[in-house]
């Protein structure tokens, strides 16, 4: 399982999310209070990119149907979502953000 660089810390300010693709896997990368997390970028309910969604209090709300996931655990919390979204571990090396795919 290789670690891949997905960007740098300065790419993402607090409370923001961005979409990246690594090894063909679409990821949403988050900055929550200075900590970095990553989930699969596609909502488990319907085709929508979580990176287009809204971040608040450690949760991501899907832009399409208001499904809400916990960013740290991927747990489906409310709205129409039943299935959790997959999470990926983020490692920081210097200024670089890496995920294990």
Partner 1 sequence: MGSMATRSAVIVGAGQAGARTAAALRKQGWQDRILLLGDEPDPPYERPPLSKDVLAGSTSPENGRIYGPEWYADNAIELRTSARVETLEIGARRIVSGGGSAENFDILVLATGCRARTVDCPGTGLEGVLSLRTARDARRLEHLLGSGGDVVLVGGGFIGLEVAASAVARGCRVTVLETQTQLLERAVSSHVADHLARRHRHRGVDIRLGARVVAFEGRIGRLRAVRLADGSCLPADVAVVGVGGIPNVELAQAAGLSCDTAGVGGILTDSHCRVADDVYAVGDCARFDDAWLGRPVRLESWENAELAPQAAAKAILGAPEGYGGVPWFWTDQYDLNLQLLGLKQPVERVLVRCDPESGSFLTLGLSEGRIAMAALFNAGRERRPLKQLIELRAIVDPRALADPDTPLKRLAKEAAANGKPD
Residues 6+ apart with CB under 8 A from 15: 31, 32, 55, 56
Put the strands of the sheet holding 3-8 in their side by side order: 3-8, 96-100, 90-93
Question: Does 9 contact partner 1 by CB under 8 A?
Answer: no
Question: Does 92 contact partner 1 by CB under 8 A?
Answer: no
Instruction: Tell me how far, at minimum, the Cβ of 40 lies from partner 1, in Å.
Output: 18
Which member of 32, 39, 53, 69 binds partner 1 (CB under 8 A)?
53
Q: Which residue, 66 or 73, has its beta carbon nearer to partner 1?
A: 66
Question: Does 52 contact partner 1 by CB under 8 A?
Answer: yes
| DSSP string for residues in 43-59 | -SSSS-BGGGSEEETTE
**Bridge partners for 70 per DSSP:** 59
Residues in the site for partner 1, rule: CB under 8 A?
15, 46-48, 52-54, 56, 61, 63-66, 79-80
């Amino acid at each position: 399982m290789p670690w891949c660089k997905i960007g740098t810390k300065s790419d993402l300010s607090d409370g923001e999310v961005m979409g990246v693709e690594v090894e063909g896997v679409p990821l949403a990368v988050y900055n929550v209070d200075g900590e970095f997390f990553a989930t699969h970028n596609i909502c488990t309910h319907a085709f929508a990119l979580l990176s287009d969604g809204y971040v608040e209090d450690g949760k991501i709300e899907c832009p399409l149907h208001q499904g809400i996931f916990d960013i740290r655990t991927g747990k489906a919390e409310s709205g129409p979502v039943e299935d959790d979204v997959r999470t990926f571990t983020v490692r920081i090396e210097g200024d670089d953000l890496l995920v294990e795919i």
